[in-house]
């Protein structure tokens, strides 16, 4: 099942990569297309207290389950959630929802509302909402809905008084509804069969949006009903038309396709890296979809077992591009429980099947549990959490462990590094703040009142954290 397999794929965040992206051009899962969970922000709180209100600039109820966002851009904060918060009067029942809030005041601005797919849980798990963290740039919010549509929406919703197109036949058109510009149906157009939920957090490079599709097994968990449907797609961000698609893992998909693409430039060559549902990392030329290289993240003798007890893993963690390498971990749907995982640093400069030659280092098996988290890499140190609740600080060059911190709770989101600190939320709703560096030093721990399945982000000296049911803006205030 999957409380969220999906989720993971989506926990929101921030970054700063070695690729030259200014973080104020766009906002996305992992701040920049490198997906590195690091931010150059400063002046962030080291502790706060949501019960007392200390450090809380504003707080807003969202749905009852939240796995996407927050992302902050152009004065707005976006969160993917479900409809249990019923912020849109007149819309009740189970829906996928993307909410927009005012960054300064927390005011609820508008929401996109998506019906659930008729097929039910196998394609669109009940009450999980929108699990895609949006990509936001140039007045447009791009995300993947629970209906497995790639959506482009006006950042202002209908609050600007205009119904921008080409799509102008929205059913909901009050000023707190979403102004959808276009929508591309991955099921209707490409026969994708998202397992449990399409949860890809899109990435844009140039004019192309990249996302995973969720393609996977049917309800029996053995058969891939649509192996010819793509796992990876590239769509023109201006027209909403397909640029290329790739169904490479096909029948080899183990469960679903829930990771996210990451982008890097290697010796002048652009690369977009897609983890496949078969546990391989596939890296393509972004404009053409031509395969550059691929890497098998599982040992050849590993075994996939239904229900989760096996040693073969898929990838839910998002790769991070850092200094001509991709860093990522392997794991499974959290419903499958804890187990042996792995975390890899892979050389991105080779071509073809690089399984036997591209591994720079890895920690595997006993040394690293299954993870669905994404890495933060800063000052040569990798901060990566696993599902079992451990946060590791490791040398980015060698994988040597500097320290381990035990949260004593499951971790679905990712560690976020900014302002010399590491922020990490867990399933018990605790956020631990540690000092970034080679020595473990806990600064504070605070409970947010509800489980955290997302990653903190920062903007303009403020922290944003969304729990399962509430969005917080945290800062020193004026």
Partner 1 sequence: MLPRSLNTSRVFVAFLLLLVPLSLLTPLSAEDWIAWRGAQQDGTSDAKNLVESWSQEGENLIWRQDFIGRSTPLVFNGRVFVQGRAGTGIDERELVAAFDAETGEQLWEVEIKAFLTTVPYNRAGWASPAADRESGTIYVQGVGGMFLALDEDGNTVWEKSLLEEYGRYSGYGGRTHTPLVDEDQVIISNITTGWGKLGAPRHRYYSFDKRTGELLWVSTPGGQPYDLNTQSNAVIAVINGQRLLVGGNADGHVYALKTRTGEKVWEFELSKRGINSTPLVVGSTVFIGHSEENIDEAVLGRTVAIDGSGTGDVTGTHEIWRQPYKMGFPSPGYHDGRLYVMDNSANLYAVNPENGEHFWEYSLGTVGKSAPVIADGKIYATEVNGRVHIVGLGDEPVRLDMDEVEMPNGRYAETYGSPAIAYGRIYLATEEGLYCIGDKDREFEVSPSPALKLPAEDRGSDKPTVIRVMPAEVEMTAGGTADYRAVAFNEKGRQLGEVDASWSLDGVAGSIDEDGVLTTAGDRSQAGEIVAKFGELEARARVRSFTGLPVTETFDIDGRGRAYWIGAGRYQVTELDGEKVLEKPVADRGLLRSKMFIGPHDLENYTITADVRGGQERRRKTDGGLINSGYILDLFGIDQKLEIRSWTAELRMAKSVPFEWEMDVWYTMKMRVDQFPDKAVIYGKVWKRGEPEPDEWTITAEDTRPVRRGAPGVQAYSPASFYFDNVRIESNS
What's the closest the beta carbon of residue 127 comes to partner 1, in angstroms?
A: 5
> Closer to partner 1 at the Cβ: 38 or 117?
117
Please check whether residue 130 is in contact with residue 117, taking contact to mean a CB–CB distance below 8 angstroms: no
219 binds partner 1 (CB under 8 A): yes
CA distance 443 to 420: 11
Segment interacting with partner 1 (CB under 8 A) among 5-13, 205-213, 221-229, 396-404: 221-229
8 binds partner 1 (CB under 8 A): no
CA distance 426 to 322: 25
| Interaction residues for partner 1, span 355-374 (CB under 8 A) | 366
Map tokens 């890495």 to a residue: 375
CA distance 219 to 238: 35
DSSP letter for 116, please: P
Tell me if the bond preceding 417 is cis, omega within 30° of 0.
no
For partner 1, what does the binding mask look like between residues 288 and 327, x meaning CB under 8 A? Answer: -----------------xxxxx------------------
Segment interacting with partner 1 (CB under 8 A) among 40-48, 143-151, 219-227, 341-349: 219-227
CA distance 285 to 272: 6
Helix (H, G, I), strand (E, B) or coil at 121: helix
| Interaction residues for partner 1, span 114-133 (CB under 8 A) | 118-120, 122, 126-127
Please check whether residue 78 is in contact with residue 136, taking contact to mean a CB–CB distance below 8 angstroms: yes
> Closer to partner 1 at the Cβ: 247 or 346?
247
CA distance 283 to 319: 11
| Interaction residues for partner 1, span 439-478 (CB under 8 A) | 447, 449-451, 468-469
> Closer to partner 1 at the Cβ: 227 or 420?
227
List, as one string, the DSSP characters of 138-176: TTEEEEE-TTSEEEEEETTGGGGS---SS----S--STT
> Closer to partner 1 at the Cβ: 28 or 452?
452
Number of chain positions touching partner 1 (CB under 8 A): 57
Segment interacting with partner 1 (CB under 8 A) among 23-31, 95-103, 227-235, 343-351: 227-235
Tell me if the bond preceding 45 is cis, omega within 30° of 0.
no
What's the closest the beta carbon of residue 143 comes to partner 1, in angstroms?
A: 21
CA distance 83 to 97: 6
Segment interacting with partner 1 (CB under 8 A) among 190-198, 280-288, 412-420, 454-462: 190-198
342 binds partner 1 (CB under 8 A): no
CA distance 336 to 311: 11
What's the closest the beta carbon of residue 365 comes to partner 1, in angstroms?
A: 8
Q: Which residue from 285, 338, 397, 419 is in contact with partner 1, where contact means CB under 8 A?
A: 338
For partner 1, what does the binding mask look like between residues 386 and 425, x meaning CB under 8 A? Answer: --xx----------------x-xxx---------------
Q: List the one residue out of 386, 378, 379, 269 whose CA is nearest residue 334.
A: 386
225 binds partner 1 (CB under 8 A): yes
Tokens of 145: 């809905």
Give whole-number Cα distances, 32 to 5, 71, 340, 349, in Å: 23, 11, 30, 21
For partner 1, what does the binding mask look like between residues 153 and 182, x meaning CB under 8 A? Answer: ------------------------------
> Closer to partner 1 at the Cβ: 308 or 420?
308
What's the closest the beta carbon of residue 460 comes to partner 1, in angstroms?
A: 28
Q: Which residue from 20, 89, 161, 220 is in contact with partner 1, where contact means CB under 8 A?
A: 220
229 binds partner 1 (CB under 8 A): yes
> Closer to partner 1 at the Cβ: 319 or 425?
425
Give whole-number Cα distances, 358 to 297, 305, 353, in Å: 11, 27, 9
Map tokens 């922020």 to a residue: 423
Map tokens 């058969």 to a residue: 223
> Closer to partner 1 at the Cβ: 94 or 285?
94
Residues pairing with 291 in the sheet? 284
Please check whether residue 13 is in contact with residue 33, taking contact to mean a CB–CB distance below 8 angstroms: no
Tokens of 360: 């720079």
Task: Summarize as ranges the residues that interact with partner 1 (CB under 8 A).
Answer: 1, 61-65, 84-86, 94, 118-120, 122, 126-127, 190-191, 193, 218-223, 225-229, 251, 305-309, 337-340, 366, 388-389, 406, 408-410, 427-430, 447, 449-451, 468-469
């Amino acid at each position: 099942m999957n409380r969220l397999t999906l989720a993971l794929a989506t926990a929101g965040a921030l970054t700063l990569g070695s690729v030259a992206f200014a973080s104020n051009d766009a906002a996305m899962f992992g701040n920049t297309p490198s997906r590195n969970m690091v931010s150059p922000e400063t002046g962030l709180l080291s502790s706060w207290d949501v019960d007392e209100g200390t450090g809380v600039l504003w707080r807003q109820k969202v749905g009852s389950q939240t796995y996407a966002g927050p992302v902050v851009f152009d004065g707005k904060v976006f969160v993917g959630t479900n409809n249990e918060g019923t912020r849109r009067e007149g819309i009740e029942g189970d829906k996928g929802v993307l909410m927009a809030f005012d960054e300064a005041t927390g005011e609820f601005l508008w929401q996109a509302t998506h019906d659930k797919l008729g097929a039910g849980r196998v394609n669109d798990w009940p009450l999980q909402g929108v699990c895609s963290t949006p990509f936001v740039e140039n007045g447009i919010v791009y995300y993947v809905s629970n209906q497995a549509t790639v959506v482009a929406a006006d950042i202002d919703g209908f609050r600007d008084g205009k119904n921008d197109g080409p799509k102008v036949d929205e059913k909901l058109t009050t000023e707190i509804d979403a102004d959808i510009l276009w929508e591309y149906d991955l099921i209707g157009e490409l026969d994708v069969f998202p397992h449990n939920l399409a949860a890809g957090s899109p990435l844009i490079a140039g004019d192309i949006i990249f996302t995973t599709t969720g393609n996977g097994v049917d309800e029996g968990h053995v058969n891939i009903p649509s192996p010819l449907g793509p796992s990876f797609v590239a769509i023109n961000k201006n027209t909403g038309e397909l640029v290329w698609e790739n169904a490479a893992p096909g029948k080899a998909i183990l469960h679903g396709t829930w990771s996210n693409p990451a982008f890097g430039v290697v010796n002048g060559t652009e690369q977009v890296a897609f983890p496949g549902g078969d546990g391989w990392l596939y890296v393509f030329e972004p404009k053409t979809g031509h395969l550059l290289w691929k890497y098998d993240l599982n040992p050849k003798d590993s075994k996939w077992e239904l229900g989760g007890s096996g040693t073969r893993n898929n990838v839910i963690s998002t790769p991070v591009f850092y200094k001509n390498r991709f860093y990522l971990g392997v794991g499974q749907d959290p419903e499958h429980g804890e187990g042996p995982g792995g975390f890899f640093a892979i050389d991105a400069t080779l071509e073809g099947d690089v399984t036997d030659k591209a591994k720079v280092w890895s920690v595997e098996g006993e040394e690293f549990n299954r993870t669905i988290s994404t890495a933060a890499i800063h000052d040569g140190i990798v901060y990566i959490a696993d599902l079992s609740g451990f946060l590791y600080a490791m040398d980015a060059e060698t994988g040597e462990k500097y320290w381990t911190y035990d949260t004593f709770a499951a971790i679905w989101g990712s560690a976020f590094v900014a302002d010399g600190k590491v922020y990490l939320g867990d399933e018990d709703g605790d956020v631990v703040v540690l000092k970034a560096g080679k020595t473990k030093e806990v600064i504070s721990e605070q409970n947010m009142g509800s489980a955290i399945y997302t990653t903190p982000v920062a903007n303009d000296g403020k922290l944003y954290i969304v729990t399962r049911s509430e969005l917080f803006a945290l800062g020193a205030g004026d």
